[in-house]
Every structure is written in C-alpha cells, then in structure tokens.
C-alpha cells in the first residue's frame, strides 16, 4: 500500500524573547508526555510544587517567575478524572495570579465530553460545564486532541485549537502494509471520523456498525452496513473505555467474514473489564496513543502505544508563533 506523509513537523528551537517567553508546565496526569513535548520544543518542563492535604485538597505553586510569559499547561483529565480536572483548574488560577501574559490549557484528553447534549430530561451537559470551569479559572486558550464530539469547541468563548491523533495512527498502519483494508465505524456517531480516516488510507472502503446503547457503558450491536468479507477491518474510535463496543464490533466483523480485525483509538481510557476484553483474541492488534498514560498492569501482548508528543509540541510552537495549526493536517 502506497503511503504519503499525513503531517509535516518542524522541530525548531524556539527563539524566546524577554517579552514573549514560552513556559511549559505539567500536572501529575501525564508527566512523561509533557517531558516528550518539552524535548521536542528544546526546553524543560517548569518546576512546580504539587501537594495534597490530608482531606484531599490540592495545593499548587509555580516555582519560577512567569510574569509576562505565554504559559502552556499540559494535563489530560484522565483517571482519577475529578482530581486531574481540579488540578488543571488550580494550575490555571495560579498562573493567572502570577501575571502570565497568556495561559493555554493543553488537554490531550478532555473529560466529561460524552455528555455533550441532553438525551433525556433532567440531565447535565457536563461538556459545557467543564468548558465554563476552564474559562472562569482564567484560561485564555485551549488546545485539545480528538474531542468526543467536535461541537464541544463551540462551548468555549475563548480560542480553541482542536488537533487529531490520526496522523500517527495512520503512519503506523501504513508501515504495516496491510492489504484489502476496510475502515469500520463502531457506531453511526463516528462515521465522519471513520470516513476521514478511510480517505487518508488511499480511499479505503467504509463499513458502519449499527449499535444501540441500552445503558452507559453497555452496548448492543445489531447490524453491519458494508462488506468486510475476506478483508482486514480497522475499527476506528476516539476512545476505548470498557471496550464493550470494540469487542462486540470485532465479534460481528468476524461473523461477517473479516480476515483480520485491528482497533485504533486515540484515548486509552481502559476502565473495568477493558483489558480482558481487548486481550481475548478477537483483535490482531489494539493501537492507541499516549494522551492517557498506560500503566504496566494495563499492557498486553496485542497493545501498541504511539506517542503524540511531537504533534502536541508542533501545535504549541505554531500557537506561540501565531501560525496556522489546521495546516498541520492538510
């Protein structure tokens, strides 16, 4: 399978002036990713004290002057979600009170994004609530990767840059030189994501799984739209949580004659029974990125973790230099 690069990165050492310095800090959610981003930018992660009081309250103190700086705070809101979200808000507030010129919340994984609209009475739209919290804390801009739904960008009244993990996933798949590919959306809501993915894979055909969810984290697969007979199927989603959708989807694809089944997702949430389901033998390989850290106890033979640090680093560099971020993905 022929392959052309999906993105061009330019690792350039930033020329930081006294009036427009770039500072990078990391919360506790994914320090290794932040360190990789810092290496790409040719700098260090800034020093910060993080403490937790006996009752669970968090304390944050920035350990260097950031007056007049452009500050980037890297913090995916992964498990434990509420602690990491609160830590992000406190970091933003600390930087605002330290007279940072501009504060950008870099959120590789945006929590509470699944509740992006009301589907029943008396529900909260938590995706909008989190947007309000981040804005009110004092962030001037947000950089996030692979939102659960793109409409979440509209919940913010501050600039929002949305980047995608698909380039690194596509590059990895291309390196495997798989033949007779068909890209599969695990539900109707993910069709746009899967179609864009298929287009980048030399216009691979698209299949859709018709799924009805009876409860949160419980999926019932009903039908397959498209032909996967004798093909290598690639399931594409934004996240893998309990892996129920992926497992049932893989089983359905096997029943319809798929020769091999791969799963690709940006965010490895991996809750509850996810590991046992993903390692059950239904999937040749599970390909995810490191937006969320994957601990050793969650790793298994079929798992491949690919870094998005260069993508995030390039986006930060372009924001800092006031150049186009969207052109990275054209």
Say if residues 41 and 72 touch (Cβ distance below 8 Å). Answer: no
> Which residue intervals of the chain are DSSP H helices?
31-41, 81-97, 126-137, 166-176, 191-200, 244-255, 274-278, 309-320
User: Which residues are CB-contacts of 127 (< 8 A; sequence separation ≥ 6)?
Assistant: 110, 112, 113, 114, 115, 116, 148, 149, 152, 155
Q: Nearest 5°: CA angle at 240, between 103 and 8? A: 55
**CA quadruple 62, 63, 65, 71: dihedral sign:** negative
Say if residues 208 and 185 touch (Cβ distance below 8 Å). Answer: yes
pLDDT attached to residue 18 = 41
Say if residues 157 and 297 touch (Cβ distance below 8 Å). Answer: no
- Per the document, the length of the chain is 330
Say if residues 249 and 207 touch (Cβ distance below 8 Å). Answer: no
pLDDT attached to residue 211 = 74
pTM: 0.91
Say if residues 128 and 113 touch (Cβ distance below 8 Å). Answer: no
pLDDT block averages, 10 residues each, the chain of length 330 = 50 47 97 98 97 96 97 98 98 98 98 94 97 98 96 97 96 94 93 94 94 66 89 97 94 96 98 96 97 96 98 97 92
The three-class DSSP label of residue 81 is helix
User: Which residues are CB-contacts of 147 (< 8 A; sequence separation ≥ 6)?
Assistant: 110, 113, 153, 162, 238
Structure tokens at 137: 């804390």
User: Which residues are CB-contacts of 330 (< 8 A; sequence separation ≥ 6)?
Assistant: none
What is the C-alpha to C-alpha distance for residues 210 and 185, in angstroms, rounded to an integer? Answer: 9
Query: For tokens 């498209």, what's the residue?
Result: 226
β 206-215/218-225 pair status: antiparallel
pLDDT attached to residue 214 = 64
Catalytic residues: 211
User: Which residues are CB-contacts of 273 (< 8 A; sequence separation ≥ 6)?
Assistant: 242, 243, 244
Structure tokens at 318: 């372009």
Say if residues 222 and 211 touch (Cβ distance below 8 Å). Answer: yes
Which residues are 264's β-sheet partners? 236, 287
DSSP-derived letter for residue 82 is H
């Amino acid at each position: 399978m022929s392959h052309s690069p999906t993105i061009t990165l330019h690792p350039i050492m930033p020329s930081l002036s006294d009036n427009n310095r770039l500072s990078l800090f990391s919360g506790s959610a994914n320090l290794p990713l932040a360190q990789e981003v810092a290496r790409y930018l040719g700098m260090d992660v800034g020093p910060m004290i993080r403490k937790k009081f006996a009752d669970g309250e968090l304390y944050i103190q920035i350990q260097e002057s950031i007056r007049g700086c452009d500050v980037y705070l890297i913090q995916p809101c992964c498990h434990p979600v509420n602690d990491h979200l609160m830590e992000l808000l406190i970091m933003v507030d600390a930087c605002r009170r330290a007279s940072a010129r501009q504060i950008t919340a870099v959120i590789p994984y945006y929590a509470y994004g699944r509740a992006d609209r009301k589907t029943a009475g008396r529900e909260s739209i938590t995706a909008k609530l989190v947007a309000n919290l981040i804005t009110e804390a004092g962030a001037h801009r947000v950089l996030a990767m692979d939102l659960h739904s793109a409409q979440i960008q509209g919940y913010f009244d501050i600039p929002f840059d949305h980047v995608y993990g698909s380039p690194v996933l596509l590059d990895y798949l291309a390196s495997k030189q798989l033949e007779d590919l068909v890209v599969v959306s695990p539900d109707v809501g993910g069709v746009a994501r899967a179609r864009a993915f298929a287009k980048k894979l030399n216009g691979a055909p698209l299949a859709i799984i018709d799924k009805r969810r009876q409860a949160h984290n419980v999926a019932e697969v009903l039908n397959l739209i498209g032909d996967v007979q004798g093909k290598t199927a690639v399931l594409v989603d934004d996240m893998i949580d309990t892996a129920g959708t992926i497992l049932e989807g893989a089983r359905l694809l096997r029943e319809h004659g798929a020769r091999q089944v791969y799963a690709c997702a940006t965010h490895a949430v991996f809750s509850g029974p996810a590991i046992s389901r993903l390692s059950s033998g239904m999937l040749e390989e599970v390909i995810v990125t490191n937006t969320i850290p994957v601990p050793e106890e969650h790793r298994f033979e079929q798992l491949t973790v690919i870094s998005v640090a260069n993508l995030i680093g390039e986006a930060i560099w372009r924001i800092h230099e006031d150049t186009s971020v969207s052109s990275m993905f054209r």
